[in-house]
Protein backbone atom coordinates (compact mmCIF):
# COMPACT_ATOMS: atom_id res chain seq x y z
CA UNK A 1 0.00 0.00 0.00
CA UNK A 2 0.86 3.68 -0.04
CA UNK A 3 3.34 5.13 2.46
CA UNK A 4 3.37 8.84 3.28
CA UNK A 5 6.24 10.33 5.25
CA UNK A 6 6.13 13.85 6.67
CA UNK A 7 8.93 16.09 7.98
CA UNK A 8 9.65 17.77 10.27
CA UNK A 9 7.62 16.48 13.19
CA UNK A 10 7.92 19.85 14.96
CA UNK A 11 8.65 23.30 13.57
CA UNK A 12 9.08 26.50 15.49
CA UNK A 13 9.21 29.85 13.65
CA UNK A 14 9.05 33.51 14.54
CA UNK A 15 5.91 35.41 13.62
CA UNK A 16 6.26 36.74 10.07
CA UNK A 17 8.70 34.05 8.97
CA UNK A 18 7.89 31.34 6.44
CA UNK A 19 7.26 27.68 7.27
CA UNK A 20 7.76 24.70 4.98
CA UNK A 21 6.52 21.17 5.61
CA UNK A 22 7.48 18.33 3.30
CA UNK A 23 5.87 14.99 2.47
CA UNK A 24 6.87 12.07 0.29
CA UNK A 25 4.69 9.28 -1.02
CA UNK A 26 5.52 5.91 -2.49
CA UNK A 27 2.78 5.00 -4.98
CA UNK A 28 2.74 6.92 -8.26
CA UNK A 29 -0.97 6.03 -8.65
CA UNK A 30 -1.91 8.48 -5.87
CA UNK A 31 -3.58 11.43 -7.55
CA UNK A 32 -4.85 13.85 -4.93
CA UNK A 33 -2.86 15.46 -2.12
CA UNK A 34 -4.66 17.49 0.57
CA UNK A 35 -3.26 19.31 3.57
CA UNK A 36 -5.21 19.47 6.82
CA UNK A 37 -4.85 21.72 9.85
CA UNK A 38 -5.86 20.40 13.23
CA UNK A 39 -6.08 22.60 16.29
CA UNK A 40 -5.89 21.02 19.72
CA UNK A 41 -9.01 19.00 20.47
CA UNK A 42 -10.62 19.85 17.14
CA UNK A 43 -11.34 18.05 13.90
CA UNK A 44 -8.93 18.24 10.93
CA UNK A 45 -9.90 20.88 8.38
CA UNK A 46 -8.74 21.20 4.80
CA UNK A 47 -6.51 24.19 4.12
CA UNK A 48 -5.34 23.48 0.58
CA UNK A 49 -5.14 20.59 -1.86
CA UNK A 50 -3.56 19.73 -5.19
CA UNK A 51 -4.26 17.18 -7.88
CA UNK A 52 -1.61 15.20 -9.71
CA UNK A 53 -2.03 17.14 -12.96
CA UNK A 54 -1.06 20.43 -11.27
CA UNK A 55 2.40 21.47 -10.10
CA UNK A 56 1.56 24.33 -7.78
CA UNK A 57 -1.44 25.94 -6.14
CA UNK A 58 -1.67 29.06 -4.02
CA UNK A 59 -4.31 30.49 -1.71
CA UNK A 60 -3.30 33.76 -0.08
CA UNK A 61 -0.47 32.95 2.37
CA UNK A 62 -0.59 29.21 1.71
CA UNK A 63 0.85 27.32 -1.24
CA UNK A 64 1.40 23.69 -2.13
CA UNK A 65 3.87 22.31 -4.66
CA UNK A 66 3.91 18.83 -6.15
CA UNK A 67 6.79 17.03 -7.83
CA UNK A 68 5.33 13.84 -9.33
CA UNK A 69 8.66 12.57 -10.57
CA UNK A 70 10.25 12.73 -7.14
CA UNK A 71 6.96 11.81 -5.41
CA UNK A 72 7.02 14.67 -2.97
CA UNK A 73 4.82 17.62 -2.14
CA UNK A 74 5.29 20.54 0.20
CA UNK A 75 3.22 23.07 2.13
CA UNK A 76 4.48 26.63 2.27
CA UNK A 77 3.06 29.18 4.71
CA UNK A 78 4.32 32.74 4.36
CA UNK A 79 4.05 35.61 6.86
CA UNK A 80 3.15 33.21 9.65
CA UNK A 81 0.83 34.36 12.42
CA UNK A 82 0.25 32.97 15.93
CA UNK A 83 -3.10 31.57 14.77
CA UNK A 84 -1.22 29.34 12.32
CA UNK A 85 0.01 27.34 15.33
CA UNK A 86 -1.50 23.86 14.99
CA UNK A 87 -0.71 20.36 13.75
CA UNK A 88 -0.59 20.00 9.98
CA UNK A 89 -1.14 16.71 8.14
CA UNK A 90 -0.45 15.84 4.55
CA UNK A 91 -2.30 13.01 2.84
CA UNK A 92 -2.39 11.05 -0.39
CA UNK A 93 -5.53 9.65 -2.02
CA UNK A 94 -4.78 6.24 -3.46
CA UNK A 95 -7.89 4.78 -5.11
CA UNK A 96 -10.24 6.18 -2.43
CA UNK A 97 -7.90 5.23 0.41
CA UNK A 98 -6.44 8.23 2.20
CA UNK A 99 -2.98 7.79 3.72
CA UNK A 100 -1.90 10.50 6.14
CA UNK A 101 1.50 11.66 7.24
CA UNK A 102 2.33 11.59 10.93
CA UNK A 103 1.86 15.34 11.34
CA UNK A 104 3.92 18.47 11.95
CA UNK A 105 3.37 20.56 15.04
CA UNK A 106 3.90 24.18 14.01
CA UNK A 107 4.56 26.74 16.72
CA UNK A 108 4.56 30.39 15.69
CA UNK A 109 6.19 32.55 18.34
CA UNK A 110 4.88 36.12 18.67
What is the dihedral angle through the alpha carbons of 109, 7, 74, 3, rounded to the nearest 10 degrees?
-150
Q: Which of 19, 34, 35, 77 binds another protein (CB under 8 A)?
A: 34
Where does this chain touch another protein (CB under 8 A) — which range of 11-19, 44-52, 66-74, 76-84? 44-52
The yes or no reply on residue 102 touching another protein (CB under 8 A) is yes
Residue 8 CA to residue 50 CA, distance in Å, equals: 20
Q: Is 45 in the site for another protein (CB under 8 A)?
A: yes
| Nearer residue to another protein within complex by CB, 1 or 110 | 1
For position 23 contacting another protein by CB under 8 A, the verdict is no
Q: Is 60 in the site for another protein (CB under 8 A)?
A: no
Binding site for another protein (CB under 8 A): 1, 6, 9, 32, 34, 36, 42-46, 49, 51, 89, 91, 93, 96-103
Amino acid sequence: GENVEQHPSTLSVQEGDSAVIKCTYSDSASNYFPWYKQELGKRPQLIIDIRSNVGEKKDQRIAVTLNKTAKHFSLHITETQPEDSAVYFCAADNFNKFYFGSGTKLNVKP
